[in-house]
Chains A and B, each alone.
Chain A
């Protein structure tokens, strides 16, 4: 699989995973009515990609403006997958994007980054004005 593209809906995130370039991106908002149903195929595609031997660097841009607590668990799962491959030597960078003044999302970024040892974690501020 070369890529995984899922367009954003009102309550599910936009997913654009470019497995050739190693660039993963999630945008929009996440509070699906069926979290397992939404994230199941995302995990599966990601697991396939991360399991390939001789993989190049991975960049993950977390650009969600909002996610609910069930999605937080799913995101943590993704972070743990990334940390596992980073531990085995693959370069992984996570960019956690936060709208300026969104202290809740900034703090969540710190919560997620807390036990990353091998993934390079960066916080990036974006101008406000996305969907509220």
Chain B
């Protein structure tokens, strides 16, 4: 029964082409370790440096978005200040392309602004994204974003297809936010 249950979760991940998956409390330490494993796997598959760095870059920005903006956080001191952010990250292969899907809880009040940013990015072509990056690189960070705009532009820039996003309302307060990026 136990093995059957977990085999079914694994089969579901395998069928979606998912090679790495993590769900739970994320930290910068997990970002680092998972990122190393991702790069090592790609290097073993003989991917070249620039391709590995493109995938890695999307991975880092996606993970840091969860770490900074997840609405589900735990913090306190455990010898030193610790902040953990709940979310999930999956990395897989689909039709010869790497994809990274990240998901985390967001407050409903933040949804309109996030949607607006993502829709704006989706509406831009390569040159538009480049111009937007150049502008934001020189902007002071807007209140509360801690540099999120540039991170999202970086993600869109490294993506080979337009980014995909979705929200699933959880309750009156929160929604589950998903962002899928193919590289």
- Report the bound CA distance from A68 to B141 in whole Å: 15
Known: A69-B61, A69-B150, A115-B138. A104 touches B32 (CB 8 A): no
Shortest beta-carbon distance from A126 to chain B in Å: 11
Task: Kindly state whether residue B52 has any CB partner on chain A within 8 Å.
Answer: yes
Q: Which stretch, A18-26, A40-48, A49-57, A70-78, touches the partner chain B? A: A70-78
Task: Kindly state whether residue B53 has any CB partner on chain A within 8 Å.
Answer: yes
Q: Which stretch, B42-50, B70-78, B101-109, B114-122, touches the partner chain A? A: B42-50
Asked if B39 and A68 sit within 8 Å, CB to CB, the answer is: no
* Complex interface bits, A54-70 against B, C-beta within 8 A gives 1, otherwise 0: 00000000000110111
Asked if B150 and A72 sit within 8 Å, CB to CB, the answer is: yes
Contact among B43, B50, B154, B158 for A102, CB-based, below 8 A: B50
Task: Kindly state whether residue B130 has any CB partner on chain A within 8 Å.
Answer: yes
- Report the bound CA distance from A115 to B158 in whole Å: 23
Contact among A104, A114, A132 for B134, CB-based, below 8 A: A114
Asked if A68 and B32 sit within 8 Å, CB to CB, the answer is: no
Which of chain B's residues 22-77 have a Cβ closer than 8 Å to chain A?
28, 31-32, 36, 39, 42-43, 48-50, 52-54, 56-57, 60-61, 64
Asked if A68 and B60 sit within 8 Å, CB to CB, the answer is: yes
- Report the bound CA distance from A66 to B52 in whole Å: 11
Asked if A69 and B53 sit within 8 Å, CB to CB, the answer is: no
Asked if B158 and A104 sit within 8 Å, CB to CB, the answer is: yes
- Report the bound CA distance from A112 to B54 in whole Å: 18
Contact among B50, B60, B137, B151 for A104, CB-based, below 8 A: B50
Which of chain A's residues 83-132 have a Cβ closer than 8 Å to chain B?
99, 101-105, 107, 111-112, 114-115, 128-130, 132
Which chain A positions have C-beta within 8 A of B54? 104
Known: A102-B49, A107-B130. A68 touches B64 (CB 8 A): yes
Nearest B residue to A101, CB-CB: B50
Task: Kindly state whether residue B162 has any CB partner on chain A within 8 Å.
Answer: no
Asked if B60 and A31 sit within 8 Å, CB to CB, the answer is: yes
Q: Which of B42, B50, B141 has the most CB of A within 10 A?
A: B50
Which of chain B's residues 107-162 have a Cβ closer than 8 Å to chain A?
130, 133-134, 137-138, 141, 146-147, 150-151, 153-154, 157-158
Nearest B residue to A31, CB-CB: B60
- Report the bound CA distance from A102 to B150 in whole Å: 20
Which chain A positions have C-beta within 8 A of B146? 70
| Residues in A lying within 8 Å of B, measured CB to CB | 10-11, 31, 33, 65-66, 68-70, 72-73, 76, 99, 101-105, 107, 111-112, 114-115, 128-130, 132
Nearest 7 A-B pairs (CB), nearest first?
A: A33-B28, A69-B150, A69-B151, A102-B50, A132-B52, A69-B154, A132-B49
Q: List 5 A-B contacts (CB under 8 A).
A: A65-B49, A99-B50, A101-B50, A102-B53, A132-B52
